[in-house]
Amino acid sequence: MASAPAPLPGYISSPLENSSSQNASRESLKMEPLADVALLPGEERVIDKDLIYMCPFNGALKGKVFITNYRLYFKSTDSEVTVTLDVPLGVISRIEKMGGASSRGENSYGLDITCKDMRNLRFALKQEGHSRRDIFGELFKYAFPLSHGLPLFSYLSQEKFEENGWAVYKPMDEYRRQGLPNERWRISFINSGYDLCDTYPTILVVPFQTPDEDLRRVATFRSRCRIPVLSWIHREKQAVIMRCSQPLVGMSGKRNKDDERYLEVIREANNTPKLTIYDARPNVNAVANKATGGGYEGEDAYQNAELVFLDIHNIHVMRESLKKLKDIVYPNVEESHWLSSLESTHWLEHIKLVLSGAIQVADKVCSGSSVVVHCSDGWDRTAQLTSLAMLMLDSYYRTLRGFQVLIEKEWISFGHKFASRIGHGDKNHADQDRSPIFLQFIDCVWQMTKQFPTAFEFNEHFLITVLDHLYSCRFGTFLYNCETIRENLKVRSKTVSLWSLINSDVSSYVNPFYTHESSRVLYPVASMRHLELWVNYYIRWNPRIRHQQSPVEQRYKELLALRDQYLKKLEELQLSDSSPSSTHLTNSSTPNAASPNQHLTHLQTPF
Amino acid sequence: MFSPKPPKPTFTSYLSPLQTDAKKYLPVSTKKLEARLLPGEIVVNEANFVRKCIGADSSQDDLWGKLICTNFKVSFVTHDSLPQQRFQCVHRLLGEHDVPLACVEQVVTVNDAKGKQKVLGSNKKLKFNPTELILYCKDFRIVRFRFDEAGPESAKKVCLAIAHYSHPADSQLLFGFEYVGTCFYGSSGEKVNGVDLGKRVQTAMFDSSSDWDREIKRTGASEWRVCAINEEYLVSPSLPEFFVVPSSLADQDLKQYACYFKAQRLPLWCWNHPNGSALVRMSSITEPQQQRKLDQRICSAIIKSHPMRSNVLKTDLDKSLPSIQEIQTALVKLRQICVIEPFVESEEKWLSSMESSRWMEYVRAFLRHAVEVIYMLEGKQSSVILQEEEDRDLSCVIASLVQLMCDPHCRSLAGFQGLVQKEWVMAGHRFLDRCNHLKKNDKEESPLFLLFLNCVWQLMEQYPAAFEFTDMYLTVLSDSMWVPVFSTFLFNCPRQRAEHSRDFALSKSISLGKDKVLQFPPVWDWSQQFSQKDQALFNNPLYVGKSAPCVHNGTVRTFTHRRSKKNYSSTLRGLPSDLKNGGLAVLDTLPRRNSLMPRLRTDVAQANERQESPAERFLQDWLSRPADLHGLLLPQLLPSHLPLWKLYFLRWVPEARIPNGGPITTFHKLSVLVDEIEILQNQLRQYTGGATPARSPSSPQDEPSKMYFRAGLSPSESPAPPEYLSSSFPFSPMGNLCRRGVLGTPLSKFLNGARIWLSTETLANENL
């Protein structure tokens, strides 16, 4: 009873940077500045240095930086407002020297660090005696271990968790959950040695009628042998979502009878009148791909199919869009023309196209028609579309576990090139393969949670945690491009899964408003009127913004606790009531009797 | 959204009755349909066989019925029911398809065969027979009627009647007069429904000196007094009969000063900050020679009323905020973007169009200005004078926003209503002109009150547990402006209300008895419009309210400001020199008699020009600490953190409706939980002997729940959210937004594919 929760919503500071105005005495700071950050098991100190953090909000702050093999930690020493930075080295995309030994101007000599998570860090050092040489060297080495022949931190981590996150996704279990195999769809082990397709998982679901030899012939006609395989099946209507890469049509307009027959078999599996092929790309891009041997399914060749282009742009366009977004939110929010600046980044418009593409896929499947989804290689836009459509169609994926399965299945096992898109441990910041495709997917999920706040078991904090560890390299979950490589490098045995962390204590990741509704299909409204910039993610480094975990969520949790207290109290009273001796002993001055009203004022509930 | 629509009876189908569904069989004639009339309401004109358009692209959901124009509303009565509509907030004065005449913004008649279109005003001629009538409404609805089967003459007549009656020649033709006259005062002169409205509404009306006395005590403004020199409106035509002035100013002085102020509007006290600083509003001084002297007198009186004899700062609202015309232009543009432009076409440029409407910019400007005033009150511990030429528009917004942010009492339902009463109704905001009820002068029309409500909504978004009421309440309150029966929104000032209602009573020979004026119900008497149950939608289940009353024998410590004593800027560099030693510094600079004038600068205008004003730093510093919901609440002002008020602006847009989604779904869960807790509390009380000291003895044991959505029978089975919930709840876009010539649903839009805007870049970069 005494532990009634505080009436105010709890305010959490952003997870990786903290500002606190505690008047900690200087002495205690000098004694052990790293004492307040617990090192992870396996984390080791590398170097530390006195320097100046050029905070874009508070100005130059003197302090000390500590580099470990996992993180960069900074704590200011001379300011009344204590500023700390806690940055996993994995989020660093680029480190540059700023100024030279002869640079003029205050604090013009130092390091400039660009991060993958929408912020930059700048440190200034004394100009004498090459003071930055050692710290630059070490930082460069540990931020980009793969470029220096060093292991990623996840291989050094000794973290132990109650739950084993690697056990979350078992492909056979997931297909069985979907009701597979059945009389029309079979499990194929043709790829068990990754010799059909080296970027696919070992277990694939294909039409029952199609023998493995046919699959091999189909593979010759699909880019990188990524043949159409089943992602999801509608239990009642047996309509399926198939994913694949583009057909290798080329300039000459090649055809492949096996591919054509294969799609026909897919169509016939549930008697879909016309198979819909969703090509995620804009029409012109699909045409342009013919020049390099790719292309799209022609009308003549695939007579029982209709082709729909979804106008989603490629990884380069998305990268540039996010870059523009960063320009208008970091370090300062563009105030004078905020909305038109936001519009000119096109970020929300891309989100809209991805979401509306997924809505079309989901709607088609819901109406009983099978669909095929592809883009060029079928590992970026295709993954976005299939996973979002599955999220709309299948409430299982909206649970905390189910969402993990969805990511493991549609993204990780089907070869979204996380290593290339994120560039874990790699110094080539300008690599053209980098692109925020997965971030865009998580943003789309967030948009859905905003529109349906009771439909998802996980909360915003969970999504942000996923994104933080997309870069951190603390867990093996998002490492490498495909299953072949992961198997070779023994990711599952040598690293910890992100889901181990999450599932060992889910309380902070759970949405208290979650209401389980098994059969509901969610169609978000993909309109600019509803799409919002995810400020709690993109603008979270700005200390001018109060970082609070949803006050509505907090308050709901408080009320839930209050209800449980009352229920318990009532139970106790009912028990004591049934024992006759105590019936008339209650008097108004006992704590029990006074409790309801006490709580009333204590918790300041609205009665 | 995507479910196929069930077949609905069409006109053709009921002429040749092949309908299988017997219930859907409709009478051939709609003549028997009658309008539901209120006391004092009369039918002016009507037309039969009118079709109300429901869907934009097809007529299959259209409703058949009778279109009626009364002296109160445009009514459409039908036997048909709306497709897919299972919920609606029942309005006690208006039917499902009714639009009050005061809500009609524009009457447009169309003849599509002749390709003609005409906007109808009062006493206009119509040279063609209309085939279609479109009503553009002030609340953003667009209602469309078709006359294909109606008699051409009766269609024309009803259109002309609607146009004529929606442009009343004088304010006594506004329906409220007939209604109140008939409803509350019978012809015999006896009060028929003679309920004492004051007792029914627990809102301070500020029309008596006792309300002001209580407010003085509540805020601890001990050096201020109620002044009655304007009784019978003898001094100023637009001031209330009672208002509050510095105790040191004698009635005689005030009477003498009055003539130098615009419209004799003497300075009005609004509110006292717990530190003793006062918020005062004032009109401009008309005589330049008197300016200096008068300013000095007023200021020294205000300084004398400050416990620390602090400075007075003046802010010129006309110079720092958009004009009422600019605000009106912004709303017109916003309406264009939100409801008039075709949905799909406006998608592409949605954000920049929003920006170019400037509405959000203005919302931000008012919030920012309120913060600047609070900085003066709290940070500088100075009293503040809000100066505006007439002191009847911009000051209403700023004065009420300042109090809303500073004073938790104003965030309770009764407190908020009292605030509107005090700073808008009694202060003489020209509701009649700003609403343009008489449609006489479009230049006077300005949505200041809506702008204010939008600012309140922003605060609610940022501090969802700090307000006792919901955004549905704010929306309904705004809509009530267009139901012309409430004293709140019918008049320009208290005096006008007294005069107009007296004249009306005289002309209708209504004996008012002991009442001085015809008693219009205030909008705060919500039972006029909604049932007790529907009113539960106003209650915010998140509200962290204070159960204790705010008055403690009139002492200053009526509500706590945890940080008010601490100097806000001590942790920051570059603070102004006079603030380095905190609050005491202000005492050091106590103005001497002759050095007063230079201090009366317009601080705000200067602050805007600097890189980061002290007010901004004050805000940033405040934002960096945890907020106390019972204390000062300042808004985050970054444009990225000020979203559009979707419930208000998008509720009629069918394409923007999220079925089974939107914030209402969490509201539902919260309400159910709070209701459960309420039930448990009652059960617990029964165990403790039934003594319920927390409740007033008059309230029955089982008083109705405060929550709209109720708990299930047992805590284990929490009730499922009703199917009718959507982001538009409790409103429905069904038949309320019928744009012409807009084809397509959201889905068909997706199927068309979105436009490509980067095609050349795309081509070059395509992933190879």
Percent of chain A having pLDDT more than 70?
A: 89
Q: Tokens in use for B456?
A: 């309140």
- Residue B146 amino acid letter: R
What was the pLDDT predicted at A136? 95
Q: Which pLDDT does position A585 carry in this prediction?
A: 40
Q: Which residue of A has its CA nearest to B654?
A: A525
Contact (CB, 8 A) for A399 and A391: no
The confidence score (pLDDT) of residue B85 equals 60
Cβ contact B360–A339 (<8 Å): yes
**A429 pLDDT exceeds 50?**
yes
A452:B687 CB<8 A = no
Domain ranges of chain B: 11-170, 201-322+358-469+540-623
Chain-chain contact of A559 with B658 (C-beta, under 8 angstroms) = no
DSSP one-letter string for B198-240: HHH--S----SHHHHHHHHHHHT-TTEEEE-TTGGG-S-SSS-
Q: Mean pLDDT of residues grouped by 10 in chain B (768 residues)?
A: 41 34 43 86 94 81 93 92 68 93 95 89 87 95 93 94 93 91 66 50 91 96 96 95 96 94 95 96 92 93 95 95 97 94 90 97 98 96 96 98 97 97 97 93 94 98 95 97 95 94 86 73 94 93 64 35 35 30 29 35 37 87 89 95 96 93 94 92 80 44 75 73 89 84 38 32 38
Which DSSP letter does residue A411 get? I
How wide is the angle at C-alpha A566 spanned by C-alphas A564 and A571, nearest 5°?
Answer: 95
The answer to whether residues A445 and A388 touch, using CB atoms and an 8 Å cutoff, is yes
Specify the pairing of strand B278-282 against strand B383-387.
Answer: parallel
Residue B345, pLDDT score: 87
- Is A366 in the active site? no
- A551 or B274, higher pLDDT: B274
Nearest to A453 among B665, B685, B751 (CB): B665
Helix (H) or strand (E) holding B743: none
CATH number of A17-143: 2.30.29.30
| Residue at A557: amino acid letter | K
Inter-chain CB proximity B640 and A569 less than 8 Å = no
Which residue in A480, A496, A408 sits closest to A168, CA to CA?
A408
Closest of B223, B225, B226, B283 to residue B258, by C-alpha: B283
Compute the average pLDDT of residues A58-69.
92
pLDDT at B587: 28
Residue A7 has its nearest CB partner, among B544, B650, B683, at B544
Among A124, A113, A65, smallest CA distance to A90 is for A113
Enumerate the residues of chain A whose CB falls inside 8 A of the CB of residue B547: 600-601, 604, 607
Question: What is the domain partition of chain A in residue ranges?
Answer: 17-143, 171-549, 552-603
Enumerate the β-bridge partners of residue A74.
A65, A85
Q: Please give the pLDDT value at position B112.
A: 86
Predicted confidence band of residue A38 (pLDDT cuts 50, 70, 90): confident
Whether A453 and B683 lie within 8 Å, measured CB to CB: no
Query: Which residue on chain B is closest to A362 by alpha carbon?
Result: B2
pLDDT band per the 50, 70, 90 thresholds, residue A289: very high
For residues B79 and B33, the answer to whether their CB atoms sit within 8 Å is: yes
Mean pLDDT (chain A, rounded):
89
CB contacts < 8 A, A to B, total 275
Q: Which residue has the tokens 């075709």?
A: B342
Contact A527 B628 (CB under 8 A): no
Residue among B349, B356, B638 whose CB faces A335 most closely: B638
CA distance B386 to B267: 9
Q: Which segment of A220-234, A357-371, B334-348 scores lowest on mean pLDDT?
A: B334-348
- A316, B49, B756 from B763: Cα distances, Å: 11, 57, 11
User: Strands B383-387, B312-316: parallel, antiparallel or unpaired by DSSP?
Assistant: parallel
Helix (H) or strand (E) holding B44: strand B43-52
- Structural fold of domain B11-170: PH-domain like (2.30.29)
Query: Is B636:B623 a contact under the CB 8 Å cutoff?
Result: yes
Model confidence at A59: pLDDT above 60: yes
- The partner residue sitting opposite A525, judged by closest CB among B544, B746, B761, is B746
Do residues A224 and A245 make contact, with C-beta atoms less than 8 angstroms apart?
A: yes
- Give residue B150's region: left, alpha or beta (phi > 0; psi -120 to 50): beta
Cα–Cα dist A297/A286, whole Å? 10
Alpha-carbon gap, residue A116 to B164, rounded angstroms: 64
Query: Residue B283's closest CA among B176, B182, B396, B382?
Result: B396
Across residues A245-249, what is the average pLDDT? 97
- Which residues on A lie below 8 Å from B673 (Cβ)? 556, 559-560, 563
Residues in chain A: 607
H-assigned helices in B321-380? 324-335, 343-347, 350-357, 359-374
How close B185 gets to chain A, by Cα (Å)?
37
ipTM of the complex as predicted: 0.89
Alpha helices in B63-195 (DSSP H): 152-165, 175-184
Alpha carbon of residue B358 to chain centroid: 19
Is A545 a residue whose pLDDT tops 90?
no
Chain B residues close to A281, C-beta within 8 Å: 766
Taking the C-alpha atoms of residue B307 and residue B302, their distance in angstroms, rounded to an integer, is 10
DSSP B378: I
Distance of CA A21 to the CA centre of its chain: 32
**Tens-place pLDDT, residues A110-125:** 999 999 999 999 999 9
Q: Report which of B412, B486, B407 is spatially closest to residue B449, judged by C-alpha positions.
A: B486
Contact B674 A19 (CB under 8 A): no
| Minimal-distance CA residue of chain B relative to A246 | B768
Nearest to A606 by CA among B404, B459, B673, B668: B673
Q: Kindly report each contact of residues B288-295 with a partner whose C-beta sits within 8 Å and lies 24 or more positions away, as own/partner.
A: B290/B260, B292/B597, B294/B257, B294/B260, B295/B597, B295/B600
Name, in order, each residue with C-beta under 8 angstroms of B309's C-beta and a sequence gap of 6 or more.
Answer: B303, B587, B590
Residue of B nearest to A524 (CA): B658
A270 contacts A368 by C-beta, under 8 angstroms: yes
Q: How far apart are CA B565 and CA B493, in angstroms?
A: 39
Shortest CA gap A397–chain B (Å): 18
Spell out which residues of chain A touch residue B665, defining contact as CB-CB under 8 Å: 452-454, 513
Report CB contact under 8 Å: A8, B670: no
Rounded percentage of chain A residues whose pLDDT exceeds 90: 80
Q: Find, in chain B, the residue whose alpha carbon is nearest to that of A352.
A: B754
pLDDT in tens, A79-98: 677 889 999 999 999 999 99
Q: What average pLDDT does the segment A531-542 reach?
A: 95
- Chain B's closest residue to A513, CA to CA, is B666
CA-based nearest residue to A528, from B471, B462, B352: B352
Q: Which residues neighbour A566 within 8 Å (Cβ) at sequence distance 6 or greater?
A: A596, A599, B677, B680, B681, B684
Could you tell me which of A172, A148, A282, A197 has the C-alpha nearest to residue A483?
Answer: A197
> With an 8 Å Cβ cutoff, are B547 and A601 in contact?
yes
More confident residue, A128 or A431: A431
Residues of A in contact with B548 (CB under 8 A): 601
Distance between CA atoms of residues A412 and A477, nearest Å: 8
Neighbours of B603 (CB within 10 A): 23
Amino acid at B189: G
Given A375, A444, A473, A482, the catalytic residue: A375
If you search the block for the tokens 């009921």, which residue do you land on? B14
Q: Which residue of A has its CA nearest to B720?
A: A515
Contacts of B468 in chain A (CB under 8 A): 606
H or E element, residue A133: helix A133-143
Place of tokens 């709580």: A599
CB neighbour class for B699 (10 Å; exposed up to 12, middle 13-18, buried from 19)? exposed
Chain A hits for B652, CB-CB cut-off 8 Å, are none
Nearest to A525 among B541, B624, B658 (CB): B658
Q: Beta strand A240-244 with A229-233: parallel, antiparallel or unpaired?
A: antiparallel
Instruction: Note if the bond before A181 is cis, omega within 30 degrees.
Output: yes
* Shortest distance, CA B148 to any CA of chain A (angstroms): 35
Q: Give the length of chain B.
A: 768
CB-closest option in A376, A545, A551 to B636? A545
CA distance B629 to chain A (A): 7
CA distance A251 to chain B (A): 14
The alpha-carbon gap from B428 to the nearest alpha carbon of chain A, in Å, equals 33
The predicted structure's pLDDT at residue B191: 53
Q: Does A202 have pLDDT greater than 70?
A: yes
Residue pointed to by tokens 């005003």: B121
Give phi and psi for B481, each to the nearest 5: -60, -25
Nearest neighbour of B761 by CB, restricted to A317, A337, A454: A317
Measure the CA–CA gap between B487 and B201, rounded to whole angstroms.
13
* Res A589 pLDDT > 80: no
| Helix (H) / strand (E) containing B119 | strand B116-120
CA A45 to mean position of chain CA atoms? 29
pLDDT at B715: 61
Pick from A460, A497, A502, A461: nearest CA to A478:
A497
pLDDT-derived band of residue A579, with 50, 70 and 90 as boundaries?
A: low
